[in-house]
Chains A and B, each alone.
Chain A
Amino acid sequence: MLHLFKYRFIQVTRDYANIFWTLLFPIILGTLFYFSFGSSGLAGSGETPWDMVRVAVIEEDGTSVQAQAFRTFLNEMDGDAIEITDITSEGKALRALKEEQILGIYYVKDTPSLTVSKNGIQETILTSLLETYLQNASIIEKIAINHPENLEAALSSMEDYQEMTQDTSLGGKTLDPNVHYFFALIAYACLSGAFLGLQSSNDSQANLSPLGARRSVTPTNKLVLILIDFITLFIVHLICILILNLYIAKVLGISLGDRPGVLLLVNLMGCMIGVSLGIVLGCIARFSINIKTGFVVALTLFPSFLAGLMFGNMKHIIELYCPVINRINPAAVLSDAFYCISVYNDSQLLIRSLLTLAAMSLLFIIAAFYRIRRERYDSI
């Protein structure tokens, strides 16, 4: 078994064309991004200052305890992630929003709400702030009802959380609008594992290549061969992606967050989806390897384009008009996951992204295994 791993590893790592597409090309692209956007705006270990998001706060009912708590929360954020303007009337606020003098209006009432006029990173931050507050408020309320004895401890931990949120996510780190290009780039690099998967698929099927035929008549179980291929490709691809991560973080100085464990998990899922996409594309139809390579180029670049690799606002435009695409586009889902780690702490979105990637990978792998394990062909 080790013997088969060893030689598959040698074979994959010496396939320079594939290594170029999965490692060198993203590194070159990342370097070009870095110089195109201007190194001053991106470098510096992610400590780049961020323009605070201007908002208006409208008090609809400032008397209740809940409203007062929300106002306090916003005041704490003022001057840090957001800048509260002195607009107090709703009409003026809506006008200012329309003229883009402000990007959102918070309504202070029993159940606080937010109005924004468009989608974007800054608007997402405002939403995230509100959601964070509402989640915390809901938890506190439940604790107050069910376990009033723990209320003090809960409030104390909440303060810690807010502090953490201010310092790392909302406090101005990694919020350069161009950073999403790098997230889309890593997502693209993950998907480019499809090139490796495609080659493996081609080498496993007797109707696609002489190598596939030769390997199909050996006494080694075909599923074992496929599994060894998959694991080897996955490891090689993960190494490539980690090198890319290191290059982006350490050489280009783009912060990818400070949660290496979660980052590794996202990369793992990214590699899984990339390799399994290639394997499934390799076995769904009997086209030549060149035609299938064309498919893979299209099916890695196009989703990456939709995730904002070439045009930064594309993902937000899609979110506005057809959000379902962003839910099923693996590049967009990966990009979301990177946002969750590096820009805003949204564990729900992170979990949703990881689950989506896992489900898609599983679907691809099952489909590919089902197809590849077919061992007698109609024609060769």
Chain B
Amino acid sequence: MIHIENLVKRYGDLVALDHLNLDIKEGEIFGLLGPNGSGKTTAINCLLALLKYDKGTVTIFGRPMTPDSYDLKKDIGIVMQNVAVFDQMSVMENIDYFCGLYVKDKEKRRLVEEAITFAGLENYKKMRPKKLSGGLLRRLNIACGIVHKPRLIILDEPTVAVDPQSRNKILSGIMELNRQGSTIIYTSHYMEEVEQICSRIAIIDHGQVLATGTTEELKKMIKTGETITIEAISLAEPELAALREFPHVFDLSYQEQVLTLRLSSAKHNLVRILNFLQEKNISFGQVFSALPTLNDVFLEITGKELRD
């Protein structure tokens, strides 16, 4: 459905997109995961033909995307990172206005009502955007972008500065849109969100796609199979040295009586560690064992944490 090949975008000496390649299939919720400044929004703006780029090709629905591709644009919905609504118009008027830019027939009224219900804005129809909370404003922003029921919806960090309740509503709404047949491109630097809703993810940094796949596929790409955390434990250097030499342990950190071990995937890792502590008669507090997260994936691939 979307094909981006060798996309290069430079801002002077800064390379924002460095031979970026992406293929997005119809029906996916495709996540673009990367820290702030990694090139996610730039990629979206090039995809939408808003930005000039130095090299590469972009096709949507099999056709090249240009500023004059009005027939393609009518099937695309965009939810910008920054809220883009008219402060002088009410919730209903804003949604109706943006719907009118896409839909000319009598369907408009029904679509507007559906978008209001979808975003949970039924009780705020007559309110102006400035009177809405941050979460409601984001929901209005989304409603304006998806009101025309497009085939492709691009959501650029739609949950920034949103309360948990609104965030959950937004995420469940996105999954519902996908169920209704829309292909979604979702950019975020919140790995939990991406992990929760995306069927396929591209990890992007410095304008390059570092890895692409499903969550499971990405996790399999890395060494970490399990992360064991043991709290309130007092260890001396000999015990730490012994733990470092343990089978499958490839990373150990010990700070403020919290031991964190990262191990490659193997059976009975936790049992072996606990047996060792028992043999040495070392007391400890709570124990956690966690499977790898996308943050682990990002950490291993880029050498840095995903979060700022």
Contact = CB atoms under 8 A, between A and B. Distances in A.
Contacts of B85: 211
B250 interface: no
Interface string B1-37: 0000000000100000000000000000000000000
Contact of A375 (B45, B67, B84, B96): B67
14 contacts: A4-B100, A7-B89, A7-B93, A10-B89, A11-B88, A11-B89, A211-B84, A211-B86, A213-B50, A214-B80, A215-B101, A219-B74, A375-B50, A379-B11
B304 to A, nearest CB: 26
B51 A380 contact: yes
B50 A217 contact: yes
A150 interface: no
Contacts of B48: 217
A378 interface: yes
Nearest to B96: A7
B190 interface: no
Interface residues of B, number: 33
A7 B89 CA distance: 8
Interface in A1-29: 3-4, 7, 10-12, 14-15
Nearest to A215: B101
Given A375-B67, A376-B67, A218 B52 contact: no
B73 A378 contact: no
Interface string B87-105: 0110001001110111000
A221 interface: yes
A214 B98 contact: yes
B196 interface: no
Interface of A: 3-4, 7, 10-12, 14-15, 206, 209-211, 213-222, 375-380
Contacts of B88: 10-12, 14-15
B49 interface: yes
B138 to A, nearest CB: 13
Contacts of B96: 3, 7
The residue in B84, B96, B144 that gathers the most chain A C-beta atoms within 10 A of its C-beta is B84
Nearest to B104: A3
A210 to B, nearest CB: 4
A219 B73 contact: yes
Contacts of A219: 70-71, 73-74, 101-102
Interface of B: 11, 45, 48-52, 67-68, 70-71, 73-74, 76, 78, 80-86, 88-89, 93, 96-98, 100-102, 144-145
Contact of B101 (A210, A218, A379): A218
Contact of B51 (A4, A211, A377): A377
A300 B294 CA distance: 56
B82 to A, nearest CB: 4
Nearest to A212: B84
B70 A216 contact: no
A217 B73 contact: yes
B98 A14 contact: no
Q: 9 nearest interchain CB pairs? A: A375-B67, A210-B84, A14-B88, A219-B74, A218-B101, A210-B82, A214-B84, A3-B100, A7-B97
Contacts of A213: 45, 50, 78, 80, 84
B50 A377 contact: yes
Contacts of B83: 210
The residue in A12, A221, A377 that gathers the most chain B C-beta atoms within 10 A of its C-beta is A377
Contacts of A11: 86, 88-89
Contacts of A221: 70
A179 to B, nearest CB: 36
A7 B96 CA distance: 9
Nearest to B145: A214
Nearest to A218: B101
B84 A7 contact: no
A218 to B, nearest CB: 4
A221 to B, nearest CB: 7
A217 B76 contact: yes
Given A4-B101, A7-B89, A14-B88, A210 B50 contact: no
Given A7-B96, A214-B144, 7 more contacts: A11-B89, A214-B78, A219-B102, A220-B101, A222-B67, A378-B52, A380-B51
Given A7-B96, A210-B82, A376-B49, A218 B73 contact: yes
